[in-house]
Amino acid sequence: MSLDDQKYSAAIPLSRRAFVQTSAIGGLAVAAGGVSLPFGTANAQDVAVPDSEATKTVWSACTVNCGSRCPLRMHVVNGEIKYVETDNVGEDVYQELHQVRACLRGRSMRRRIYNPDRLKYPMKRVGKRGEGKFKKISWEEAYDEIANNLKRIIKDYGNEAVYLQYATGTLGGTVTRSWPPGNSLIARLMNCCGGYLNHYNTYSTAQITTGLSYTYGSSAGNSTSDIENSKLVVMFGNNPAETRMSGGGITYILEQAREISNTKMVVIDPRYCDTAAGREDEWLPITPGTDAALVAGMAYVLITENLVDQPFLDKYCVGYDEKTLPASAPRNGHYKAYILGQGDDGIAKTPEWASKITAIPADRIIKLAREIGFAKPAYICQGWGPQRHANGEMVARSIATLACLTGNVGISGGNTGAREGSYAIPFVRFPTLENPIKDSISFFLWTDAIVRGPEMTATRDGVRGTDKLKQPIKFIWNYAGNSMVNQHSDINSTMKILEDDTKCEMIVVIDNHMTASARCADIILPDLTTSEQMDFCLDASSGNMGYVIFADQAIKPQFECKSIYEMTTEIAKRMGVEQQFTENRTQEEWLRHLYQQSCENDALLPSFEEFRKMGIIKRQDPAGHFIAHKAFRENPVANPMNTPSGKIEIYSERLATVAKTWELPEGDVISPLPIHVSTFEGSDDPLREKYPLQLIGFHYKARCHSTYGNVDVLKAAALQEMWINPIDAAERGISNGDMIRIFNDRGESQINAKVTPRMIPGVVALGEGAWYTPDAKGIDRAGSINVLTTLRPSPLAKGNPQHTNLVEVAKV
């Protein structure tokens, strides 16, 4: 098949493509003794020096979980990566196949590969668990130890006692894919051996996924590129300039699309985030955890000023008013009654009411409501910050309800109130076989499952697939994750649970670096990085442009590190399932096999060898902009929503049942309507007398979670600091740059203060993911937020309320 007639070939003219593929500018640089020659210049690809034995340029990728995926062109000299460049194919023309340029993190990849923290050989714990004392062992010994313990634990406790930890370190990979763990090679191995305890939901999206599954039956949103057709953009807690950073991210699309439609953008966030930062037309600082109150206040304006889309609500929705309220609901149980003060609480959700809760002036709430009501269509979206709260399910559903009140669902230029959608080129994934075990816990309750597994039930702990867990967790596989310590909540309590090796008896960590989680392992296996093996980097998307990357092997495996495929194959051999596991293929044979299958489904794909040379394949969404629930809007009878009524459920009968039947701790609320509720450690918790500041986290440009957190140049470029408003700082005698203590009953962290009006008063913020660094007294010295977060889950999703915390701050 000729490349020219394919859409992706627009990525670069054919005459130049061959040129790019063979260029070896890396060689030039090193020949000059490390002095950089014309690398970054626009015409770098035109320096036509052929690769030689000693120097070559290899396409690789950054496969971490930042929401983007980026190609990296590794300049290799004598077996060492000397320089990292990124995508150089495609034109920077909007709505063409634009370049996918890596961010500051990906470009520092060689500092992660050659990092002093790099794990070099297999190790076995010698001290107490968590103490971080290990001895070097052979691969044979490591495999035997793991297989013997796995067999023993399966025999004594059953496969339900084996858990695959949430882990996203290399989720962009195909062979190396770590997330969802159920689609990793570890899952394939365990499925050959009788299965494992599943988990559902994620640290990323537990509350929104669960919440919107009741409203829409999905969390789909319109593609950002569809903003071209919008009259207004309203972002609730969404910060793509930091969370979707690369050229494949959506900031570029957002800006270009807004230019076409000349759209106003309103950003609602307690922080003046990087996405606002001069690009927004209006920033509404909001008290964390109160977006549902803001929506209710705006709903009051929309209803009383006749700005709701009544025909849309009548035809497509359940429970907006008495007309569509299910018979099982109380007569005043509809949303309109709740807003107008005719519901059970008798409170009208006026803008003044909302203002007291949100700290947004009533006149600005009225103004925004009118703007949204008149803007046809409006792109209303939320990031995942608003939902990573103790009342996050309600918040997510409330923002979605705003999109319904204004009839913006299923149309071009509108949105569902969910996060943006995007297009990805479909590829065949590594088959991981079926888990015979259906028992499943929330991803967040694994610490509970270690301590009190068999007490955990469906109606109290959200256990699925069974009424009650059979066994506590006894064996943990932790492949490419740091959520065992650094990224989970309440590190001090978590460490106590992990330290007791009579509870969870075996922990295997497979990583590249000596992380906080690795320090809690019984056996550590040193993995290859993406640069040391061949893989495909998939599920990459940029608005309505999808792309896939050929991540080739750039350098030989470092030290004694081995690939995840080799490790799992060796363990499969010892478990007696090698043939079933490998199907007699090597890693490269698997990739060729999967690619062959992908080609059978997709005639536009080039040959394996061509793909390898091209490095990246890009394609525009053949359907244009993605519009969520378009078919439903066009014909709701033929294309019903994935809800029991087939409609959008503003009132959910299923949730009414859950609210009646589940056992909830005091203060937790589940409601059939998307209402504003107070929560533990929220803005109105009496605990504020002791801990007066709300602490939120955010996803920071210095790292992807904890990954890249040990790269010196990144640490220097984007400092770890705690954001605090000048008013709160002055009350505490804190000046910009001062070393401060941040503390509550769960722990303490110390870091420098960033005193800034970019933070709403009463709230402080820490970028999540800093490497937990306890001193002799157990005080974290790195600004690692999870020494301050709670293990108490959100009510419905049983998710991580990691942005809901109360703390006090003082100068050290």
Ligand X SMILES: Nc1nc2c(c(=O)[nH]1)N[C@H]1C(S)=C(S)[C@@H](COP(=O)(O)OP(=O)(O)OC[C@H]3O[C@@H](n4cnc5c(=O)[nH]c(N)nc54)[C@H](O)[C@@H]3O)O[C@H]1N2
Tell me if 334 contacts ligand X by CB under 6 A. Answer: no
Tell me if 204 contacts Mo ion by CB under 5 A. Answer: yes
Closest-CA residue to 173 (of 547, 538, 425, 594): 538
Residue 730: partners with Cβ closer than 8 Å, 6 or more residues away: none
Closest-CA residue to 233 (of 386, 417, 91): 417
Tell me if 106 contacts ligand SF4 by CB under 6 A. Answer: yes
Tell me the C-alpha distance between 165 and 180, whole Å. 10
Binding residue for ligand SF4, selected from 70, 76, 428, 528, defined by CB under 6 A:
70
Tell me if 698 contacts ligand X by CB under 6 A. Answer: yes
Measure CA 50 to chain center: 40
Alpha helices per DSSP H over 216-361? 240-243, 251-261, 291-304, 310-316, 335-340, 351-358
Strand, coil or helix: 188: helix
Tell me the C-alpha distance between 394 and 669, whole Å. 9
- Only one of the segments 17-25, 211-219, 505-513, 711-719 lies at the binding site for ligand X (rule: CB under 6 A); that segment is 505-513
Strand, coil or helix: 630: helix
Provide φ and ψ at 418, rounded to 5°: -90, -175
CB of 168 to Mo ion, least distance (A): 7
- Only one of the segments 166-174, 371-379, 628-636, 736-744 lies at the binding site for ligand X (rule: CB under 6 A); that segment is 166-174
Strand, coil or helix: 260: helix
Tell me if 176 contacts Mo ion by CB under 5 A. Answer: no
Cis-peptide, bond into residue 672, ω within 30° of zero: no
Tell me if 271 contacts ligand X by CB under 6 A. Answer: yes
Provide φ and ψ at 36, rounded to 5°: -80, 130
Q: Name the token pair of 187.
A: 């899952």
Which residues lie across from 163 on neighbouring strands? 197, 476
Q: Which is nearer to ligand X, 432 or 515 (CB)?
A: 515
Q: How many residues bind ligand X (CB under 6 A)?
A: 65
Binding residue for ligand SF4, selected from 11, 24, 25, 62, defined by CB under 6 A:
62
Tell me the C-alpha distance between 553 and 533, whole Å. 4
Looking only at residues 357 through 416 of this chain, which bind ligand X when binding is defined by CB under 6 A?
A: 383-386, 388-389
Pick from Mo ion, ligand X, ligand SF4, none: which does 700 bind, CB < 5 to 8 A by kind? ligand X
Pick from Mo ion, ligand X, ligand SF4, none: which does 288 bind, CB < 5 to 8 A by kind? ligand X
Asked whether the beta carbons of 760 and 268 are under 8 A apart, the reply is: no
Tell me if 533 contacts ligand X by CB under 6 A. Answer: no
Binding residue for ligand X, selected from 26, 71, 289, 413, defined by CB under 6 A:
289
Asked whether the beta carbons of 577 and 193 are under 8 A apart, the reply is: yes
Q: Which is nearer to ligand SF4, 191 or 533 (CB)?
A: 533
Q: Which is nearer to Mo ion, 180 or 453 (CB)?
A: 180
Tell me if 103 contacts ligand SF4 by CB under 6 A. Answer: yes
Q: Which is nearer to Mo ion, 395 or 670 (CB)?
A: 395
Pick from ligand X, Mo ion, ligand SF4, none: which does 386 bind, CB < 5 to 8 A by kind? ligand X
Measured at the alpha carbon of residue 377, what is the angle toward residues 374 and 379, in degrees to the nearest 5?
110
Provide φ and ψ at 47, rounded to 5°: -80, 100
Residue 684, phi-psi category: left (phi > 0), alpha (psi -120 to 50), beta (remainder): alpha
CB of 467 to ligand X, least distance (A): 29
CB of 245 to ligand X, least distance (A): 6
In the chain, what are the helix, strand and coil shares in percent, each to the nearest 5?
35, 20, 50
Q: Name the token pair of 198.
A: 């599943």
By DSSP bridging, strand 506-511 and strand 475-479 are parallel
Strand, coil or helix: 636: coil
Mark residues 216-255: x for contact with ligand X by CB under 6 A, - for none. Answer: --------------------xxxx--xx-x----------
- Only one of the segments 32-40, 161-169, 181-189, 620-628 lies at the binding site for ligand X (rule: CB under 6 A); that segment is 161-169
CB of 362 to ligand SF4, least distance (A): 40
Number of H helices, E strands in the chain: 25, 26
With b for 16 or more beta-carbon neighbours within 10 A and e for fewer, the 633-661 pattern comes to beebeeeebebebbbbbbbbbebbebbee
CB of 71 to ligand SF4, least distance (A): 9
Tell me the C-alpha distance between 543 and 718, whole Å. 27
CB of 377 to ligand X, least distance (A): 21
Binding residue for ligand X, selected from 26, 90, 288, 795, defined by CB under 6 A:
288
Alpha helices per DSSP H over 87-230? 109-113, 139-157, 185-192, 206-215
Tell me if 150 contacts ligand SF4 by CB under 6 A. Answer: no
Q: Which is nearer to ligand X, 513 or 798 (CB)?
A: 513
Tell me if 219 contacts Mo ion by CB under 5 A. Answer: no
Q: How many CA atoms lie within 13 A of 115 on its CB side?
A: 23
- Only one of the segments 101-109, 568-576, 581-589, 613-621 lies at the binding site for ligand SF4 (rule: CB under 6 A); that segment is 101-109
Pick from ligand SF4, Mo ion, ligand X, none: which does 706 bind, CB < 5 to 8 A by kind? ligand X
Tell me if 747 contacts ligand X by CB under 6 A. Answer: no
Pick from ligand SF4, ligand X, Mo ion, none: which does 658 bind, CB < 5 to 8 A by kind? none
Tell me if 536 contacts ligand X by CB under 6 A. Answer: no
Closest-CA residue to 691 (of 764, 595, 588): 764
- Only one of the segments 103-111, 137-145, 196-204, 282-290 lies at the binding site for ligand SF4 (rule: CB under 6 A); that segment is 103-111
Mark residues 31-70: x for contact with ligand X by CB under 6 A, - for none. Answer: ----------------------------------xxx---
CB of 214 to Mo ion, least distance (A): 22
Pick from ligand X, Mo ion, ligand SF4, none: which does 544 bind, CB < 5 to 8 A by kind? none
- Only one of the segments 97-105, 196-204, 573-581, 655-663 lies at the binding site for ligand SF4 (rule: CB under 6 A); that segment is 97-105
Binding residue for ligand X, selected from 12, 185, 250, 286, defined by CB under 6 A:
286
* C-alpha pair distances (Å), 88 with each of 325, 488, 753: 56, 38, 39
Q: Residues in the site for ligand SF4, rule: CB under 6 A?
A: 62, 64, 66, 68-70, 102-103, 105-106, 245-246, 704
Q: Residues in the site for ligand X, rule: CB under 6 A?
A: 65-67, 167-170, 176, 203-204, 236-239, 242-243, 245, 268-271, 273, 286, 288-289, 291, 383-386, 388-389, 479-483, 486-487, 510-513, 515, 527, 529-530, 696-701, 703-707, 768-769, 785-786, 789, 802-803
Q: Residues in the site for Mo ion, rule: CB under 5 A?
A: 204
